[in-house]
Amino acid sequence: MTPTNFHTHTFRCNHATGDVIDYAKCAFEQGSLALGISDHVALPDNRWPEVRMPFDQLDDYEQAIESARNMMPQMKIYKGMECEYDAAYHSYFQDELLGERAYDYLIGAAHYAPLKGKWLFAFDKLGTAEALLAYGKYLTLMMETGLFAFIAHPDVFGCSNETWNSDLTACSRDILGAAEATNTPLEINGNGFRKTMKQTKEGLRHPYPWTPFWALAADYKIKVICTSDAHRPEDVLANIDDGLAFAKKLNLETIENPLF
C-alpha cells in the first residue's frame, strides 16, 4: 500500500524546491490519495527568518494549498505547518492557525531549544547534559500544549552526540514519558536517512533516526509516524519505507494518519 506523507515543505522556506501542487502530483503519481503540507511556520515577528517564509507570505501559502485542492479533487490535501513552540505564539497557533485559518494540523519541532534565555541550535548544540535536559523539557512542554499532531525528529540530538550516554537516556525518557502521557505520536524522520552519515567510534550511522532512542521507545505505549520530511517534490514519499522497516524491527506501533 502506498503511504501518506504528513511532512512536506515548499520553496517558501528558502531551503526547499517546488510548490504544493508539485508535491501533490508526485505523491499521486506514486499512488497516494492524501498528503499533508507542513512548511516551516511563518511567525508573526519573523523570528529565525533564514529557514521559513516571511509572515507576509502566509496567505500565498494557503492559496497554494487551496489551488492544489481545486486542481486535484481526487486527493485529500491537509493544511499544516511545522512549528517551533514559544508561549508568545500560543494564541497565534491555537486561535489563528488552527482556528480562523482552519489548519488541519501542526507539527511540533525543536530546531532550537531554549536554555537560560538563549536559543540553542538543536542540530549541533545538544551535546551537553544541560542542553539535553533543556531539550527534553522543551519537547515535553510542546507536547503538553496539545497543539501538535506529532513531534518531528525527537532524536535530532543524534547530530550533536557521537556515542550514547546516560544523559541521552535521561533526555529520551523525558521525551518518551511525555509522548505517552499526552498521547502524542513521535516521528521517524525520513530526511535523516538522506543526510550525510556520521562517522563515529562505533561506525557509520545516520545522524537520526538514532537506534538507541527508538529501542528505548519500545518500553512506552507510544505511536510512531514515518514521514519523508520532503524538501524536493521527488522526495515526497522518500524513505517512509525505511522508517516503517526500522519501526517494525524495533516493534514500534506505527500510524499512517495522525489526524484520526
Interface residue list for Zn ion (CB under 5 A): 82, 229
Give every CB contact of residue 75 below 8 A, 6+ residues apart in sequence. 24, 27, 28, 32, 33, 34, 35, 69
Shortest distance in whole angstroms from residue 189 CB to Zn ion: 8
**How far is 94 from 106, CA to CA, in rounded Å?**
10
Rounded (5°) CA angle 115-120-121 = 160
Which residue lies nearer to Zn ion by CB, 52 or 223? 52
Shortest distance in whole angstroms from residue 194 CB to Zn ion: 12
Shortest distance in whole angstroms from residue 162 CB to Zn ion: 24
**Locus of grid cell 536554555:** 115
Shortest distance in whole angstroms from residue 80 CB to Zn ion: 11
**Locus of grid cell 524546491:** 17
Which residue lies nearer to Zn ion by CB, 17 or 254? 17
| H-state helical runs in the chain | 20-29, 58-71, 90-91, 129-144, 166-182, 190-194, 211-217, 240-249
Which residue lies nearer to Zn ion by CB, 36 or 136? 36
**How far is 250 from 260, CA to CA, in rounded Å?**
24
Which residue lies nearer to Zn ion by CB, 126 or 216? 126
Position closest to Zn ion via CB: 229
Shortest distance in whole angstroms from residue 82 CB to Zn ion: 5
Shortest distance in whole angstroms from residue 146 CB to Zn ion: 21
Neighbours of 199 (CB within 10 A): 10
Which residue lies nearer to Zn ion by CB, 134 or 151? 151
**Locus of grid cell 508539485:** 22
- SS3 assignment for 194-215: HCCCEEECCEEECCCCCHHHHH
